Structures are given as structure tokens and as C-alpha cells.
A and B are shown apart, each in its own frame.
Chain A
Amino acid sequence: MAEIIDILLSTSFWAAVIRIASPLIFATLGELICERAGVLNLGIEGIMVAGAFAGWMTVYSGGGLWTGVAIAMAAGMLFGLLHGTLTVPFSLSQHVVGLGITLLATSATYFAYRLALPEVDTPPRIEAFERSAIPFLSDLPVVGHALFTQTPLTYLAFALVVVVSLVLYRTPLGLALRAAGESPSAVAAQGLSVTGIRMGAVIVGSGLMAVGGAFLTMSAFNSFFFEMVNGRGWICIALVVFGAWMPGKALLGAVLFGIFDGLQIRLQQTELGADVPYQVFLMMPFLLSILALVVMSRRASVPAALMVTFNKGER
């Protein structure tokens, strides 16, 4: 017990929590936007892989850091365009298309990586985003240094939570997007295009997922390797449910996840870690996600038209 308290009081732990949560925040917001418009996007895992590679590759071949983020986002949007086209106007199964996109994006990325670097065993590192302290705020005791000495991408992730909330709840666009996921026929009756809104949501959402992936290579590990996304996309889908499809609560979920994940990594190095196999610790994040789904499912407010296709003129 004393060990856990020691960990919880250390600054480096809280800095790690935020670092673990940041990519999840981007991708969870992306998935949330898709689902709020009525489309389940199971392409998330593969789109994160593609984003991780696109961002890293851009910087590796001499591009700027923000150019890398933009290229990653564009790559994600491209896969989003494909996902949206197949699931929205053509009304194909969102499950099958999503998994297909994950497979396509993952294998295309690995193929491109092998073409670009045929004979590399240790993945090359890049000069990634550096941490920058925010004046005054970073001097706050305990949490100040952890929260406000992060990379620009982390600050962007937290800012995006506010932006997405504002757009969803305070603008006509957000209203139309939420309505497309609750009652698409009402949107059509207003003379708006359900297809257009849903396509837009999937494209933008997929772009954010890719930025989440790019965070891994450009702000955390500083290099690209196979299997690096390792189920984070699926965890984000669980986080959307945990957050009851609301950006603020999803942020809370991502930070909670960061706490548990950060804790299990550190507990592996304590006496407890010597007795318990390390795999048990690694299982915890996945088991907790399942548990969270069970607990939250009872009072979750699922968008009423999630996975309900809309074909104009049909009733």
C-alpha cells in the first residue's frame, strides 16, 4: 500500500499519466464524433497505425513536426473518406467495413514501412516534439510540473476536448451532427443532408484518430515499430461508451485509464511485481475497460440512430 501512495505522490507518475492519456484523447474524440453522427468506426485501430507511420515518416524524411501532424491527419481523413463512402451512402455493414479498414490501413502501413526501410532492425528515431513548460502554471506544487510541462500535442489534445464540446453543444453544426445520430429523418426534414453530415463526421473523426496515432511516434516513443498501437484503438471505443458519448467524461475516462496504466507499469517494478507475473499487470487495462463497459452500460445514453442506416425517401 505504501508503495502505491509513494507512486501517486510522485511528479513523474502524473506526467506519465498525461502522456498515456494524450493519444487516447485524440482518438476517443475522433470516435466520439463518428458515433455521435451515427457511425461506428472500427477502422480506428488501423487508422491510428497509419497516422503513427505517416507522421513519423514525414519527419524522418525531413519534414517539419507540424507538417507531420498534418500529413498524419490527411492520411486518417483519406481512410475516413473510404469508410464513410462505404458505410453512409452505400449503407454497408459498419462492423465489416470498419474491421476491413483496420486490416487495410495496418497492412498498407507495414507494406510502406518495409518499402521505405527494407533492412532496418532497430527503428530509427526522430527529433520529436519537445516538452515546453507553461510559465507560472508549471510552478504549481505537485501537479503543476506534471500537467504543464508536456509537449505541444498534449496541450492540443486538451484544447480539442473544449473545442469539440463547444462545437457539439453550442453550434448549429453540432446540433445537426447530434441529430444525425439520434433522428436522421428529422435532419432530412430540415432540408439538411444526413449523408453529408455523417460523411463529414467520419472524415474529421478519422483524422483525429490518426493524430492520436501520430502522438505515439512524434511525442512518446519517437520511432515507429510494428504492433505499437497494440489495442489502443479498441480501448478508445470502450472509452467512448465509458464517457457516455460526451467529450468531458471521455477525457475523464482517458485520464483514469492513464492512471491505471501508469500504475501497473510502476507496480511491476515493486515487490509485488516480483511475485506476480508481469502479464497480469498488462492484462489490467483491458480487464478494466471491459469492467467499465459493464458498469456504464446500464445508464449509457447510446445515440438512438447509431449503426442505423439512412436512405433518403425510404420509410
Chain B
Amino acid sequence: MRLETVANPSLARTLGFPLIALAATVVLGSLLAMLAGADPFATLGLIVRGAAGSQFALLETLNRATPLIFTGLAVAVAFRARLWNIGAEAQLYAGAILTVLLGTGALEWPSAALWPVMAGAAMLAGALVLLGPAVLKVRFGVDEVVTTLLFNFVVLLFVSMLLEGPMKDPMGMGWPQSPRLIAEARLPRIVDGLRLHWGFALAIIAALIVWVIEARTTLGYEMRAVGLNRQAAEFAGIPVGRVILKTALLSGGLAALAGFSEVAGLKGNLTLDISPGFGYTGIIVAMLALLNPLGVVVSAIFVAGVFVGADSMSRAAGVPTYIADIMLATALLTMVLAIALTRFRVRWG
């Protein structure tokens, strides 16, 4: 078989294949629910209701979407320039460490001064964590996929070391957790009484800023050029190495904001499980959004909804919660295939 480029894909083609991909994901989810002995239609209903059926559920979904918007943006920015950052998990924890370091009393400043300093320091830490693999890639040609993946394990062990050593909460009854942030360091709720913190608003602002950078600045143009064709970019006089390093700083900083927002907004302290794989899930978020920064917001809310809905369904119907991960992996694979099929026609023989 061969692939032929479709010059002007019809509307049916551009919408049809992605819809089939989504349908396939839902069908697979139903089959899995049946396999687990539950009623498939009831299961899907429970997922939807658990994700968006009440004000509480909806806010829970938005809360869960917040770190995913940050990590999704981090991955989208990097992948756009063909920098394969699989290390958003490590950068997230780096941001969380700095947030705890500055927010637990080291700086007794008013909130208005403390927040930007904490966020800035967190971004710097995340940026530096990704700068390592990016420099190795540009300078020595070391594949960043493997180095960023391996760094995730190193940073997580480092966090574990901190939480059992210098950063351990003396009042924590022996649990590996950090002390709680001081009141000035916490991000308040957007509306009093509703469980949604300002981290969500920050995530939306971040998405808008990234969109402006990508669409309206020289750096954004250079990042796209490097991603589309490195040789051509070099030939056109774009400093490819430097653009990759700048992309790495931006991407790592964005992922670190997820750690800042989770610690300062949601949890109030650092534990080893503040991220159940938000860094990896960011890859799904970014790919489903076709690497578009504004699309990341939508797809992060969708992905968060699947997780929150599946959690609540799992409690009610007894279907293992891993069904959410299976459905998202299927959505990822079928969606990249669907996108390819909108642009290419399969010719047999």
C-alpha cells in the first residue's frame, strides 16, 4: 500500500475521520465495561455524570484540567519545534520543590510580591531541568527522548530524598511530606466557596501568552520553522541550536508551573504523589489539541473529564479505574491515525 497526499481534503474528510476515532474510543470503553461485568451504557452515563453532572463535578474536572493545561502547553511548544520533551513530569516536580522552598516561610512577604517570585523561581527550575537534555542534544547529538525519560526517575528519587530528609515536615507524623505553605503563599479560590483556585486562571492566561508567542513573534516563527524542516531553517539563517534551547526553557518553565499551581493552589504541600503522571498525560493533551495552545485548554478539560468521570464511575460500578487510561491511549492512537487519513489517501497495490 502507498499513501497519496490529498490536495484539498473535503469537510467530510477533515471531520469524519476524527469523529470515527472518537466513536471507536467510546465503543472500546463500552466493551471494556462489559468485560468487567457492568452495563456499558450505564457506565458511559456514569462517566459523563461524574465529570460534568453537577457543579461540584464540573469544578473538580476544571481543577484536574489545570496541571494538564500547563503540561499540555509544555509538550505542545516543544513538539512544535521537534524537541521531544517527555520529561514534563520531572519539570513539574522541580517547580513544586521551588514553590515549597520559598513558600513555607523563607520569604515572609505579602502575597502580591510572593506569588510572582515563587512562580518565577519554579519556572526557572523547570527550565533548567529541561535545559540539560536540550544542551546534550544540541551540543553532542544525544537523543532527548531517552534523557528526558531517564531524568523523570532521577528527579522523582530526588524529591523522595528531600521529603525524607531536609524538606520533611516535622509535624508530618513520619509521612514523607513537606511542611505546609504559609497563608500568603497559597493561591486563593476564584469564587469564594467554590473549589476552583486561581491556578486555573493562570493556566488560561499561559495558554493565551503561548498562543501569542507562537502566532505573533519571531521566536514563534523560528520554532515552527525549526520543527518543520531543520535544514531549511538553518539555510535560511535561523540559529537552530539557540532556538531549540529557547524552546526548552519555555517548555520546561510551563511544565514547572503545573507543580507551582498544584502545590500553591490545590494541595498546600508537596508529597510524592502530587502528580499521577500529569507530565505523561500532557503528551496526550497536546496531541489531541494538534499542538495548538488554545486547543490544549479544550483537550485538557476533556482528558480531565475522562479521568474524573472514570474515578467516580469506578466507585459506583466497580469497573477498574484504569479504563480511563486505556480510553485515552486509544483516543491518542486513533486520533493521530485519523489526522493522517484526512491528509493522505491509502492506495493499494
Contacts and interface: CB of A to CB of B under 8 A. Distances in A.
Interface stretch (A8-16, A86-94, A145-153): A86-94
Given A104-B333, A279-B160, 8 more contacts: A115-B320, A234-B150, A238-B150, A241-B146, A286-B157, A289-B150, A294-B142, A297-B140
A231 B161 CA distance: 19
A110 interface: yes
Interface string A77-112: 000001000100111110111011101101110110
Nearest to B330: A104
Contact of A97 (B322, B326, B330, B333): B333
A96 B145 CA distance: 11
B153 A103 contact: no
Interface residues of A, number: 49
Nearest to A46: B329
Nearest to A109: B322
Given A111-B322, A231-B150, A282-B157, A91 B3 contact: yes
A131 interface: no
A277 interface: yes
Contacts of A195: 1
A301 interface: no
A110 B322 contact: yes
30 contacts: A40-B145, A82-B333, A90-B3, A92-B336, A92-B340, A96-B332, A97-B333, A99-B86, A100-B332, A103-B284, A104-B326, A104-B333, A107-B326, A110-B322, A111-B322, A114-B322, A115-B35, A235-B150, A237-B146, A238-B150, A277-B161, A277-B165, A280-B161, A283-B154, A289-B146, A290-B147, A294-B142, A297-B140, A297-B141, A312-B2
B140 to A, nearest CB: 5
A100 B149 contact: no
Given A231-B150, A231-B153, A297-B140, A93 B329 contact: no
Contacts of B200: none
B333 A100 contact: yes
Interface of A: 40, 42, 82, 86, 89-93, 95-97, 99-101, 103-104, 106-108, 110-111, 114-115, 195, 230-231, 234-235, 237-238, 241, 277, 279-280, 282-283, 286-287, 289-290, 293-294, 297-298, 311-314
Nearest to A45: B149
Nearest to B84: A95
A107 B329 contact: yes
B1 A89 contact: yes
A100 B336 CA distance: 10
Nearest to A105: B329
A220 to B, nearest CB: 19
B335 to A, nearest CB: 10
Interface string B104-120: 00000000000000000
Contacts of A279: 157-158, 160-161, 164
Contacts of B2: 311-314
Contact of A111 (B3, B32, B145, B151): B32
B321 to A, nearest CB: 8
Q: Is the interface of A mostly helix, strand, loop or mixed?
A: helix
A96 B335 CA distance: 11
A197 to B, nearest CB: 15
Contacts of A86: 333, 336-337
A40 B84 CA distance: 13
Given A89-B1, A92-B337, A104-B333, A234 B149 contact: yes
A193 to B, nearest CB: 11
Interface in B246-274: none
Given A99-B86, A283-B158, A286-B154, A110 B330 contact: no
In the A-B complex, the 3 residue pairs with the smallest Cβ-Cβ separation, listed nearest first, are A107-B325, A104-B329, A114-B320
Contacts of A282: 157
A294 B132 CA distance: 12
A86 B332 CA distance: 12
Given A96-B287, A279-B158, A42 B145 contact: yes
